[in-house]
A and B are shown apart, each in its own frame.
Chain A
């Protein structure tokens, strides 16, 4: 079935420390640039999907954003799926244009969670995803919850801490080639192993960053997307959900990303081995290992060794997180997952500079919300 939804515009702001900005000012900047990148005017936008914010939380963030930017769309709502928010909003935008309800949907995400919160504020707020009665009293945090997954996963599939460290090293190498990346200084496996323990077995360099930043995309209907511009087809989408709280997860080794990816691959009529470049949610090194192995890119226990062997690098079998990912490029709330989408579009347009995967035709993007709780996958390709 030919694609009916296309990404026609993408944009992101710098990431890192942006004390001159607030959540909405960054989002408006990314939105303005994404609309221009699509060759459109703000008045062309008839749908707006917004994410969530820690620094300017609001019951109706999408309406607040539209008001801030002077947009009066025919459809708008906020999307809240944690780290899966960006992919989920793109999936929803595709549904809106495929069903004929919108012509051009702006999807906007961003937060200034580094400079807009007190030190440690983002970690404390994120810990609230833990169950108020049955997890938070035990001092659970998001890193602690992923560490519970890591400990079990590493034991069952004989994964070593060095295997996970190789993932962080690979992504820092990519980030060093991205002028906007938050962390660009190269690291070694030794650096990761010697970084301070956060929640065993996860160390500081196994964990994602906390960054300011924003990103936006425009999703357009086939008949509305200018064929003379380099539009990117949304070929397949999928989701998978098994739990919210890690103590209620049916398994610590099998998650909804399996179903999510299978659905997206099936709808796109492709398989993992045909993917040229993958941009996959990497809140922690273990996150990426679990996802790569669950989604069929590697066998159980083999993602880390593959990273060490260079398989996730530009010359490997699956260049992965070519912007540096959440571990090294940056993590700005819902925009963290959107950076993966933006990078996939850069790759498919051949605009990734020194990080370019030659002849990239098919890209896979994945978002994970909560503790591997809610998943959304996208297969993107040439129109």
Chain B
């Protein structure tokens, strides 16, 4: 009985400790501050790549740690990233269509 209870508890205690979540939130806040600084400071040609990289890093951190995708079944990752991949496909196709065929 004890073993069953422990196993049940373990399945729900995936993820990180509260302190770990707070560390992730601090990192996310710092990246956001850095993002906002690009509006005021001239980063030259690094402006666009830096913003996009920071956006992707924040996205992946929230999905991996706060949404527990890093610790969950691979099937969930497949479902979510398939939707995301299709969304990117829609975005790129729409932009390419307007750029090359309509404009």
Are A and B genuine complex partners? no
Q: B-side interface residues toward A, CB under 8 Å?
A: none
Q: A-side interface residues toward B, CB under 8 Å?
A: none
